[in-house]
Structure 1
Amino acid sequence: MHLEKLQLMNFKNYEELVLEFPCRINFLLGLNGSGKTNLLDAIYYLSTTKSFSNSSDTQNIRYGADYFFIRGFFTNTNKQSEVFCQVQSGRKKTFQENGRDYDKISDHIGKYPVVLISPLDVDLVKESSEARRKFFDQMIAQVDHSYLDALLEYHHALKQRNALLKLFAENNSIDYDMIDLYDQQMARSGGVIYQKRKAFVAEFLPIFNTSYNLLVNNREDATLAYASELEASEFEAGLKSSIKKDLILQRTTFGVHRDDYIFGFAHGELKRLGSQGQQKSFLVAIKLAQVEVIKSHLGFSPILLLDDIFDKLDDTRIARLLKIISGKDYGQSFITDAGPERTQAMVDELDIDCDIFNVEKGNIHLSSIQ
């Protein structure tokens, strides 16, 4: 898949912008705060229907404007497509493919996949299990739409069950038939989620190990495991056994919304024992494995977005990474860097065919030095 052209209007710090990307490898160079990450976010938005840096759609509207739009022109196996999205204050978000609105915006997920590598990835190591679940949920949903359907059904039932628990606590009474109704819904969709997560990790692990070994030159072994309460208990039985605790806490304490993914090495957990460089390499390897999984399932490569990822990686690992993504088996990549001299030196050393764009205060132009 290839993004041929991108058009922005009032998106973040871009008032108006039109760019074409004939090359497979694209470097975006500029000072911090110039708008490099915002351009990646626009591409990410076209793929995922949301920003990776702002949870509120309207926060992406340029200061002083009341709307933004993003338009992208893609080619995939000689098929051309146009994707358009618009957000306007006080109105419903618009998302279109080839001029037609989606029945559900979630139907767009997975059609134009991207993989993002950014400094925010460190949250996968340092934050709670919620960050890791969210990441793997998004990854699986890009290649399996039935997983996304089960996830939406599960979280709807979970929200309703939690609302009932609060109501029962306030009224000091309980309707077990109502609870049982949502238990059945959660067990049905949660069972699907559990099985699909388990199968996905089994598929993902060897691909991740290969990516990690390429990045670190086989110097250390890494591990990744899926941890779920459902390993030891049936879903409905687990919900019923936790009902007293749930009523006290007014929330559901058993289920796949509490699952986790454990990152580590043979000698211990990544969060406690991994250096910053090891953590960075681990996370980059996860994303490279994600590229391979998407390519395997969908039959084409996703767009790879690399935001300021050279920090915390030594020159040897940077060179290995660039060599991997510039290989003929990889798809289109967009790479930001605040160090133009470093990028130019790497491009020259590895003889990478690429376009280099200079970014400055919301303006972007193609560099005359390649």
Structure 2
Amino acid sequence: MWLEKLHLTYFKSYEEGSFTFGERVNCLVGENGSGKTNLLDAIYFLALTKSAFQTQDALTIHHTADFFVLDGIFRKSGKGTQITCSLQRGQRKVLMSDKKSYERLSDHIGQFPVVLIAPDDTDLVRGISEERRRFFDGVLAQLDPSYLDDYLQYNKLLTQRNSLLKLFAERNYLDEDMLETYNEPLIGLAQRIYAHRQRFMDKYLPLFRKYYAYLSSEREEVGIAYESEVAVEDFGAVFRRHRARDLHAQRTSKGVHKDDYRFEIDGVALKKFGSQGQQKSYVIALKLAQYELLADEKETKPLLLLDDIFDKLDDRRIHKLIELIDDGFLGQVFITDARPERSHRILDQVQADVRFFEIGK
């Protein structure tokens, strides 16, 4: 699977732009601020219906405009599919496949898998648990439509229950029956999501360890400990016992929205004891394991987006990534770099077809 054409209208820094990409390696070069990362984000948005870098869709509209349109041609087994995404300020996103609108945006997720490696990925290590949950939920959403359905429904009910708790607190009363209409489905969804995540980790962890060993020459033992309050035998009873705490805090205190993934190296916390090099290898191994799992489950190679990767990695790790391109493991790759001479020097080693695009000129 690969992206052949992309047209942007009023997306982020682009008033308009058209690109025809190569099937293997596409290197986007240009000065900082020229729009390289924004172009990667357009590809990400077209594949996943959201920005990789902005939490609000409206922030992806060019500052002089009231809308954006992204239009691309993805190819699978020789067949082209036109995907169009548009957004008007104050309105809902519209997503079309071959000019036919999706009934639900979530039906598109996973059709054109994508993996992004970006400079701020080390926030997965250093940041709060929400960052790690967001990463793994994103992987699972591309892998399994049933997980995405459960996840979206859980978050919808969670928001409604929290609003109800706030209402009870403001009006100083409690309706047990009304609260229970949210408790029961939330508990069931939490248990299903926990089971999804646990099964996923059983598949994912061996792949992750394989890629960390590949990148680090097997110098350390690494692990990921999935931690969840839902793992207890009678989570439903635990959930209900925290009703008084929930009422006082005006939010739901127990559930899979509190899960975390503890990153370990040689049995200790990576965040506290891992070097910068170890953290970088760890994060790239997370993404490469994501890539292989998606490729296997979807039976197609995801797009790989590498943002500013040459600035962040040493020569040894760069060489390892180049090996993965040359041995055919990776499919279509997009790379951004602010130093064209460096990109040419590194990518001259690649046997696969490489195309260069000067951005901002």
Aligned residues: 361
Q: Which residue of 2 aligns with 1:367?
A: none
Aligned counterparts of 1:88 and 1:31: Cα–Cα separation in 2: 30
The correspondence of residues 246-257 of structure 1 with structure 2, limited to 5 A, is: 246-257=246-257
Aligned counterparts of 2:335 and 2:264: Cα–Cα separation in 1: 27
Q: Which residue of 1 aligns with 2:63?
A: 63
The correspondence of residues 244-283 of structure 1 with structure 2, limited to 5 A, is: 244-283=244-283
Q: Which residue of 2 aligns with 1:343?
A: 343
Displacement of 1:345 in angstroms is: 1.6
Aligned counterparts of 1:246 and 1:14: Cα–Cα separation in 2: 46
Q: Over residues 22-76 of structure 1, what are the superposed CA-to-partner deviations in whole Å (9 max), with x where a residue is unaligned? A: 2311111122111100000000000110111222222212222222111110111
Q: Which 5+ residue runs of structure 1 have no aligned equivalent?
A: 364-370
1:210 and 2:177 aligned: no
Q: Over residues 193-217 of structure 1, what are the superposed CA-to-partner deviations in whole Å (9 max), with x where a residue is unaligned? A: 0000000011000011111111112
Displacement of 1:325 in angstroms is: 3.2
The answer on whether the counterparts of 2:2 and 2:23 sit within 8 Å (CA) in structure 1 is no
Displacement of 1:341 in angstroms is: 2.4
Q: Which residue of 2 aligns with 1:80?
A: 80
The answer on whether the counterparts of 2:326 and 2:351 sit within 8 Å (CA) in structure 1 is no
1:334 and 2:334 aligned: yes
1:98 and 2:98 aligned: yes
The answer on whether the counterparts of 2:73 and 2:81 sit within 8 Å (CA) in structure 1 is yes
Aligned partner letter, 1:140: L
Structure 1 moving runs of 4+ over 4 Å: none
Displacement of 1:224 in angstroms is: 1.1
Displacement of 1:340 in angstroms is: 2.1
Q: Which residue of 2 aligns with 1:292?
A: 292
Identity, % of aligned pairs?
Answer: 47
Aligned partner letter, 2:284: V
Partner SS state of residue 223, structure 1: strand
Aligned counterparts of 1:91 and 1:232: Cα–Cα separation in 2: 42
Q: Which 5+ residue runs of structure 2 have no aligned equivalent?
A: none
The answer on whether the counterparts of 1:277 and 1:312 sit within 8 Å (CA) in structure 2 is no
Aligned partner letter, 1:354: V
Aligned counterparts of 2:243 and 2:305: Cα–Cα separation in 1: 44
Partner SS state of residue 71, structure 1: strand
Partner SS state of residue 264, structure 1: strand
The answer on whether the counterparts of 2:190 and 2:230 sit within 8 Å (CA) in structure 1 is no
Structure 1 window deviating more from structure 2 (310-319 vs 37-46): it is: 310-319
Aligned partner letter, 2:224: L
Aligned counterparts of 1:30 and 1:247: Cα–Cα separation in 2: 53
The answer on whether the counterparts of 2:71 and 2:83 sit within 8 Å (CA) in structure 1 is yes
Partner SS state of residue 310, structure 2: coil
Q: Which residue of 2 aligns with 1:110?
A: 110
Q: Which residue of 2 aligns with 1:127?
A: 127
Structure 1 window deviating more from structure 2 (139-148 vs 340-349): it is: 340-349
Aligned counterparts of 2:181 and 2:84: Cα–Cα separation in 1: 40
Q: Which residue of 2 aligns with 1:229?
A: 229
Q: Over residues 333-363 of structure 1, what are the superposed CA-to-partner deviations in whole Å (9 max), with x where a residue is unaligned? A: 1011122222222122344431122222xx4
Q: Which residue of 2 aligns with 1:311?
A: 311
TM-score normalised per structure 1: 0.94
Aligned partner letter, 2:354: C
1:142 and 2:127 aligned: no
Q: Which residue of 1 aligns with 2:18?
A: 18
Aligned counterparts of 2:299 and 2:286: Cα–Cα separation in 1: 19
Displacement of 1:245 in angstroms is: 1.2
The answer on whether the counterparts of 1:25 and 1:326 sit within 8 Å (CA) in structure 2 is no
Aligned counterparts of 1:119 and 1:305: Cα–Cα separation in 2: 12
The answer on whether the counterparts of 2:194 and 2:231 sit within 8 Å (CA) in structure 1 is no
Partner SS state of residue 180, structure 2: helix
Displacement of 1:267 in angstroms is: 4.1
Q: Which residue of 2 aligns with 1:34?
A: 34
Aligned counterparts of 2:74 and 2:312: Cα–Cα separation in 1: 33
Aligned counterparts of 1:116 and 1:240: Cα–Cα separation in 2: 39
Q: Which residue of 2 aligns with 1:238?
A: 238
Distance 1:350 1:21, change over 3 A: closer
The answer on whether the counterparts of 2:187 and 2:236 sit within 8 Å (CA) in structure 1 is yes
Q: Over residues 288-334 of structure 1, what are the superposed CA-to-partner deviations in whole Å (9 max), with x where a residue is unaligned? A: 11010101111111100010122332111111112113431321110
Aligned partner letter, 1:85: C
Displacement of 1:236 in angstroms is: 1.3
Aligned counterparts of 1:242 and 1:81: Cα–Cα separation in 2: 49
Aligned partner letter, 1:14: Y
The answer on whether the counterparts of 1:23 and 1:355 sit within 8 Å (CA) in structure 2 is no
Displacement of 1:233 in angstroms is: 4.2
Q: Over residues 233-259 of structure 1, what are the superposed CA-to-partner deviations in whole Å (9 max), with x where a residue is unaligned? A: 423112111111111111111111100
Partner SS state of residue 293, structure 2: helix
RMSD: 1.4
Partner SS state of residue 311, structure 2: coil
TM-score normalised per structure 2: 0.96
Aligned counterparts of 2:77 and 2:216: Cα–Cα separation in 1: 33
